[in-house]
Chains A and B, each alone.
Chain A
Amino acid sequence: MKSGSFYVSTVGRVLKWARANSLWYTSTGAGCCADEVLNASGNRYDLERFGCVPQVDAKQADLLIITGMISYKAAPHLKAVYDSMPSPKYVIAVGACANCGGMFAPEFSYSAVPGADRIIPVDVYVPGCPPRPESIMNGLIALQEKINGTGRNHHKAQ
């Protein structure tokens, strides 16, 4: 057994497990997807089952859930929120607007950023307009699998 292998195998797995199971989130709610995130944290779809606690301050959050359209005016503030989060940090883009601008894409609107990944790195994209709460939780599980290193291999929308 090499000297580093214990750390990589066991300790590293525990650290990853802790990160994956305690994703405290903060949400930039700007649309109907924000309602679905609220719905997901309510008592029918309980986000706290996954250890996700809503945080008011980005400094105490690990996960940024981007919901809704990002205007060019709001983009620097979203970037500031992301920058103030201590790493390791993760981002989920929920809904068409956060994925690629959606209905407000540059073909239709002059003021919308075409997707959150133009500003900050996004880990998981959740399609839908708005997605169901189960869909958001599916994205969350996908993120947990990504952190744990057991990610699904290119789960394709059919």
Chain B
Amino acid sequence: MSSYPQEASWINLLSSTLGFTPGTQEWVFAAIGLVFIYCVIILPSAAMMSFLDRKLSADFQARVGPNRAGPAGVFQPLADLVKLLQKEAASTDWNWREALWLGVHTMALYSTVAVIPLGSMALLVDTDMSVFLPFWAALVLALGTMLLGFSQASVPGWFGGIRIAAQVLAGAFPSLVAVLCAGIHSGDYRWSAFVGAQAAFPLRWTAFSDPFQFIAFVVFVAGGLVMLAVPPMDAAVSLRDLHGGVSSHLFGRRLSLYRLGRFYGFFLWSVMATVIFLGAWTLPFGLGGVLRTREELWLLQLLETLWLLGKTFLLMLAITSLARVHPRGRIDQVTDFSWKVLSPFSLFALIGSALWTGWGLLR
């Protein structure tokens, strides 16, 4: 078993605060950490982003959007969730295949919570391979989602399943190569190495350090959208074309689980893009160093997480507004875009950033 970094990790802070003895099993901490991250970060951001998404699309269509549930409609996501949890099946049959593959789909997504980087001390696992876990999970995700579609026993489910498998495979390759580009720039694949290669000033971010890294950034984000079927690239699961594809017959609790999982994929990808390319959690004005020397570790961790999440939400909002103004591509256009545009550009960026970095090292 690998051990956690010994420097004041948030896990150690948490365990000392909660009064655990040092002999407590590591998996207990991991489980507490996962539940904590899910409840405190993922669920509220899902609610916020779904509300902002609906308001944004309403604005683009010169509408008002939800405004009757709570003040200005801010409780609309809560109402949706509580309503979905109350739904009961009309018939008594229980589709165990659907439950099984929805479980695989959801676990493949949430297995990546283990490596999600949320601050210098909130790194649950910081190995040189942790950045690749989402790609490994994507293969399980493709399988689980495809079979989830098949288990619906309907035409939209079948086609959605096949299409989403094609999309995941098409999107995984260019974004993987884009991560390699960033790794060449930073010299290592640890989260801490990605962070260390950047500074708070935007021109010192990886994405803007050289033209090839910028191409890699765009390819990483677009490839992730294709891989996780996020709105501008959601041809495989779009409601209007395919009745929701693999989710066409999910309802109630299963639908809320599925939608939250979809949101989590988008969120994870935006966090990764922010950490790898957009300056991560490095606080501006040297605030991080000041807090670290004063040993205000909780405050430092809090500010870093907030700073990172702020940048992440801005990126997600930009992508969402793009999705709301741009017509959705067909499945063949999406996979074409991924294989014929993103992949060549990612390889181009790989060669370019290798030469650029090599030239910088030689000089």
Closest to B75 in A: A21
19 CB contacts below 8 A, A to B, read A14-B82, A18-B78, A19-B83, A21-B69, A21-B76, A22-B69, A22-B76, A46-B63, A48-B54, A49-B66, A49-B68, A50-B66, A51-B73, A56-B240, A56-B244, A60-B244, A84-B90, A86-B88, A86-B251
A21: which B residues are within 8 A, CB to CB? 68-69, 75-76, 79, 83
Nearest first, the 4 A-B pairs at minimum CB distance are A18-B82, A21-B69, A22-B83, A21-B79
Closest to A60 in B: B251
Contact A88–B251 (Cβ < 8 Å): no
Q: Is B2 an interface residue (CB 8 A)?
A: no
A46 to B63, CA, bound (A): 6
Q: Is A119 an interface residue (CB 8 A)?
A: no
Closest to B239 in A: A56
Q: Is B351 an interface residue (CB 8 A)?
A: no
A85 to B68, CA, bound (A): 25
A48: which B residues are within 8 A, CB to CB? 54, 58, 63-66
Contact A22–B80 (Cβ < 8 Å): yes
Contacts A18-B83, A21-B79, A57-B244 known; A86 to B252 CB distance under 8 Å?
Answer: yes
- Which listed residue (A19, A55, A60, A87) contacts B90, Cβ 8 A? A87
- Whole-angstrom distance from the CB of B240 to the nearest CB of chain A? 7
Known: A17-B79, A51-B80, A60-B244. 14 other contacts (CB 8 A): A18-B82, A18-B86, A19-B86, A21-B68, A21-B76, A49-B65, A49-B68, A56-B239, A56-B243, A83-B90, A86-B88, A86-B251, A87-B88, A88-B86
A19 to B78, CA, bound (A): 11
- Whole-angstrom distance from the CB of B328 to the nearest CB of chain A? 14
Contact B90–A85 (Cβ < 8 Å): yes
Q: Is A43 an interface residue (CB 8 A)?
A: yes
Closest to B90 in A: A86
Within residues 201 to 237 of chain B, which ones have a CB less than 8 A from any CB in chain A?
A: none
Within residues 85 to 102 of chain A, which ones have a CB less than 8 A from any CB in chain B?
A: 85-88
Q: Is B248 an interface residue (CB 8 A)?
A: yes
Closest to B78 in A: A18
A50: which B residues are within 8 A, CB to CB? 66, 68
A60 to B54, CA, bound (A): 18
Q: Is B67 an interface residue (CB 8 A)?
A: yes
Contact B82–A43 (Cβ < 8 Å): no
Q: Is B361 an interface residue (CB 8 A)?
A: no
A88: which B residues are within 8 A, CB to CB? 86-88
Q: Is A118 an interface residue (CB 8 A)?
A: no
Within residues 36 to 61 of chain A, which ones have a CB less than 8 A from any CB in chain B?
A: 43, 46, 48-51, 55-57, 59-60
A46: which B residues are within 8 A, CB to CB? 58, 63-65
A14: which B residues are within 8 A, CB to CB? 82
A22 to B256, CA, bound (A): 13
